[in-house]
Every structure is written in C-alpha cells, then in structure tokens.
Amino acid sequence: MRVLLLLPLLALASATVYYKETFDPSWSSRWVISDWKKSEAGKFEVRAGDWYGDAEADKGLATTQDARFYAASSKFKKSFSNEGKDLVFQFQVRFPQKN
C-alpha cells in the first residue's frame, strides 16, 4: 500500500538532467578557460576540495590563487527548450578561509 502512495510522488519528483560534469581527466576538452584579464587571471585545478564523500567522484574546479580573476564555460551536449517549463541551474561555490 505504501508503494502505491509513493509512486505519484516519485513521478512529481523526476527530472531530466541536461548537463552533468564529473571532471574526469578529459574535462579540459569540454571547458573553455577565458583569457579575459589574462595578466591577472589565476589557474584552475581539478580536485575534491576540503569536504567530500568520495575523493574520486566529488571533484570540481578549484581556484589556486587568491585575488585573481577566474572564468570558465562549457556547452550543453544537446540543444533543448524549456518553453513552458522551469529551468534550474545548480552549482556550488565555496570560499574556505585558512587563517
């Protein structure tokens, strides 16, 4: 009986993922690092960061220098339309301070 009650909720909670990045070794072929502010730009590195569940699976772009400019972009793999639907971009930014 409980399963029958949860099925409609599951249908409401389902979503289509149009873009997911895992930052595997080929990440740089999918990302463009901007050359804007080239002389003041910092370097990115890919790593898990300070807090993670799985160091190999939870990687992301990390900034390596303080007080620098950083810009990167990546394309969606397929074109899509969200006409009549909500579009949600989700990302996470952390600014850990080590004093």
When divided into structural domains, the chain yields a total of 1
Residue 8 included in any domain: no
Instruction: Band the pLDDT of 84: cuts 50, 70, 90.
Output: very high
Average pLDDT, rounded, for the chain: 83
6 has a pLDDT exceeding 80: no
Mean pLDDT of 30-55: 89
In the chain, DSSP finds a helix count (H) and a strand count (E) of 1, 4
pLDDT at 31: 93
Residue 91 included in any domain: no
Tokens for 58, please give them: 């939870």
Residue 94 included in any domain: no
Mean pLDDT of 43-61: 87
Q: By the 8 A CB rule, do 35 and 41 touch?
A: yes
- pTM of the prediction? 0.67
Instruction: Band the pLDDT of 10: cuts 50, 70, 90.
Output: low
2 has a pLDDT exceeding 80: no
The residue range of the domain holding 69 is 18-74
Tokens for 91, please give them: 């990302």
